[in-house]
A and B are shown apart, each in its own frame.
Chain A
Amino acid sequence: MHPILGERRRLVIYLLAFLLVGLLLVVGLRGGSTWLASIVFFLPLSVAYGFISLSAWYVCRAFPVHANARPGNIVAVHVVAAAVASLMLVAIGFAWATAVDSLADLEAGRLFTEQRALLFIIGALLFWLAAVFHYLLIAFEASREAETRALELSLLAREAELKALRAQIDPHFIFNSLHSISALTSIDPAAARQMCLLLADFLRETLRLGSNSRISLADEFALAERFLAIEQVRLGSRLQVTRDTDPLATECLVPPLLLQPLVENAVVHGVAQLVDGGTIRMAASRDGSTVTITLENPCDPDRSRSRGVGLGLDLLRKQLTTQFGVYDAVHANEASGQFRVEVRLPAVTA
């Protein structure tokens, strides 16, 4: 689409500029003719030439100015184009003058004959001016397009991040946390604020860590502890947490948000299903080339199984296999009211 023809506002401004040029011609090239003859001859001619000069865009688009462009070619093309356009101007000028004289004898023909050489030169110069203007417009549109694309890309990236977050975090966790905050605002405002900060920290850390390909196990445990701290506000003394991690293990690198589905399971399907709650035990150890992460939680052996148990584990297994090439890393078993999940990964350090 033509950048000027396509937008009415631009076209009006552009034609006004040519009208201004026409006025200059009326004054500058009047010579010995009457003002009326000069006005009647030059003003319409100038606006008509404005339309002809719009064709500069096609030349500009066919010969764009960029790092690899040959300046010689561009100059040659524009010399030819300007000559053709200006010849058209002169031809239209001749026709117009004849037409004007046949309707009312203003001696426009004489004005044309006197100024045709100058008209040709001015026509060529105006065409080049129009060409420069079109080049500027093209550059402007290109930069705006680039800006829009950059914005779109960053929006897409944000969306992907949020999608990843949604996949990792149960939205009901957020609703429940907000309900706790709602309750705390009147009971204990300081605790409500603390809960807000905990939740914000957790969400921000999840986004930040989730965008990395590998993070340290220490970061993973820190994130899991944040999550559990929030759930402790909700569940009170029903939720206890212990952690026993070997520093040799926690310096290893693991896929981000590895523990999230595990701790979420431990709370939602484990401790929260028990009237008296219980303790979630997290541990990590390293045996040469293998890191072993274990999570243990008490659970209700008679609990209803239709609550999506194991879905998180399946997802984790798939993720570890498809994205990280680790097979058979997740082992889960349940015995006498204790659920235990073990993740074994190759020990990789930074």
Chain B
Amino acid sequence: MSLPSEAEDMDKIRVAVIDDEELARRILRELLAAHSDVEIVAECANGFEAVKASAELTPDLLILDIQMPKLDGFDVLELVGGKTPVIFVTAYDSYAIRAFKIHAVDYLLKPFSAERLAEALGRARERIRSREGPPVRDLLSTARTDRKPIQRVLIRDRADVHVIPVETIDYVESQDDYVAVKSGGHSYLKEQTMADLEALLDPRAFVRIHRRYVLNLARLARIELAVTDSRIAILTDGTELPISRTGYARLRELL
């Protein structure tokens, strides 16, 4: 009897299977069992579990359903940072373009054959070996096929996920490479540039009033003149934010 050597063990592809349907997870488990170099490290029934498992277990590959409650496959990918190669599994062919824009390893249509899965795994092995491909995070924002503004902001806090509907955001503050999303007295830190987030928000509801601040117009109570040529926005909860000159011009256009 020989134990698998450490080197062999290292070569194993550690996979997280994410699908909200039990049967869909079971067929993946069954088909993956035929591949000795693949090890399932996590089975997740929803996006929250997937984000948690990704943070704690850092799998080499995600096999990810798209249509899931609360967080869909693309949301999960955005939240895990998009460095992990992903094989999408879905009954819908309409997401294929978006999936390939973010350099998904493969796109399996349900129902799929064992051969088709093996082919996808082959591609995944290559991707993992070469460690190629740009980080998906940079591609995610451009991959939205619909140019509609986002309706919620997803923020990962270690293994937890916050889903913040955009209408509950008071304002967003830029902090170097991060943005702090202020909502109902809470502050959520997200690794994203202000310009990226601003581009995703509805320009009729959110306005950049200052180099460091994007304001939800619905929260604006009044504008006060502080010193000469300098104005301050007073929010409905009393918070005061500085308004720059160009910010004031943008505000006047909208009001």
- B-contacting residues of A (Cβ < 8 Å)? 172, 175-176, 178-184, 186-187, 233-236, 272-275, 300, 302-306
Chain A residues near B22 (CB-CB < 8 A): 236
Task: Verify if B109 is at the interface (C-beta below 8 Å from A).
Answer: yes
Choice from B21, B48, B112, B165 contacting A234 with Cβ under 8 Å: B21
Min Cβ gap A230→B in Å is 12
On chain B, the residues within 8 Å of A235 by CB distance are 21
Residues of A within 8 A of B111 (CB): 175, 178-179, 181-182
Roughly how many angstroms separate A295 CA and B59 CA in the complex, as a whole number? 42
B91 A175 Cβ-Cβ under 8 A:
yes
A180, A236, A272: which has the most chain B beta carbons within 10 Å? A180
* List of B residues within 8 angstroms of A181 by Cβ: 111
Decide yes or no whether B70 CB sits under 8 A from chain A. Answer: yes
A179 contact from B69, B110, B163, Cβ within 8 A:
B110
Q: Which 10 A-B pairs have the closest CB atoms?
A: A183-B27, A179-B110, A175-B91, A179-B111, A183-B23, A182-B111, A172-B91, A273-B69, A176-B91, A178-B111
Chain A residue, CB-CB nearest to B165: A302
Interface pair A172/B92, CB less than 8 Å apart? yes
Binding site of A, secondary structure by majority: helix, strand, loop or mixed? helix
Task: Report how far A181 CA is from B26 CA in the complex, Å.
Answer: 12
Q: Kindly count the residue-residue contacts between A and B in the assembled complex, taking CB atoms under 8 Å apart.
A: 70
Distance, CA A175 to CA B21, complexed state (A): 14
**Would you call B251 an interface residue if the criterion is a C-beta within 8 Å of the partner chain's C-beta atoms?**
no
Supply 21 A–B pairs (Cβ within 8 Å), ascending by A: A175-B110, A176-B21, A176-B91, A178-B111, A179-B24, A180-B21, A180-B23, A182-B111, A183-B26, A183-B27, A183-B30, A272-B20, A275-B20, A275-B45, A275-B48, A275-B69, A300-B70, A302-B152, A302-B163, A304-B151, A305-B151
Chain A residues near B30: list those with CB within 8 A. Answer: 183, 186-187
User: B112: which A residues are within 8 A, CB to CB?
Assistant: 179
* A187-B30, A273-B70, A275-B48 as given contacts; A179 in contact with B151, CB under 8 Å: no
Question: Which residues of B are interface residues toward A (Cβ below 8 A)?
Answer: 20-24, 26-27, 30, 45-46, 48, 67, 69-70, 72, 91-92, 109-112, 146, 148, 151-152, 163, 165
Looking across the interface, which residue of chain B has its beta carbon closest to that of A305?
Answer: B151
**CA A275 to CA B48, docked complex, whole Å:** 10
B48: chain A residues at CB < 8 Å are 275
The interface residues of chain B lying within 8 Å CB-to-CB of A300 are: 69-70
Contact of A187 among B21, B26, B67, B72 (CB under 8 A): B26
Shortest beta-carbon distance from B68 to chain A in Å: 9
Q: In the assembly, what is the distance between CA of A275 and CA of B30, in Å?
A: 24
Contact across chains for A274 and B110 when beta carbons are under 8 A apart: no
User: Cα distance A306–B98 when bound, in Å?
Assistant: 15
Q: How far is the CA of A179 from the CA of B109 in the complex (A)?
A: 9
A233 touches B23 (CB 8 A): yes
Task: Tell me the bound Cα distance from A300 to B69 in angstroms.
Answer: 9
Task: Give Cα distance in the complex from A233 to B48, angstroms.
Answer: 23
Q: Is the CB of B91 within 8 A of A304?
A: no
Task: Establish whether residues B70 and A178, one from each chain, have CB atoms under 8 Å apart when the complex forms.
Answer: no
Q: Which residues of B contact A236 (CB under 8 A)?
A: 21-23
Structural contact, B91 and A275, CB atoms closer than 8 A: no
Does A274 lie within 8 Å of B165, measured CB to CB?
no
Closest to A276 in B: B69
**Chain B min CB distance to A227 (Å):** 16
A347 to chain B, nearest CB (A): 38
Inter-chain contacts of B91 with A (CB < 8 A) = 172, 175-176, 179
**Interface pair B46/A275, CB less than 8 Å apart:** yes
- In the bound complex, what is the Cα–Cα distance between A175 and B92 (angstroms)? 9
- Residues of chain B within 8 A of A184, CB atoms compared: 23
- A97–B226 Cα gap in the complex (Å)? 128
Contacts of A234 in B (CB 8 A): 21, 23
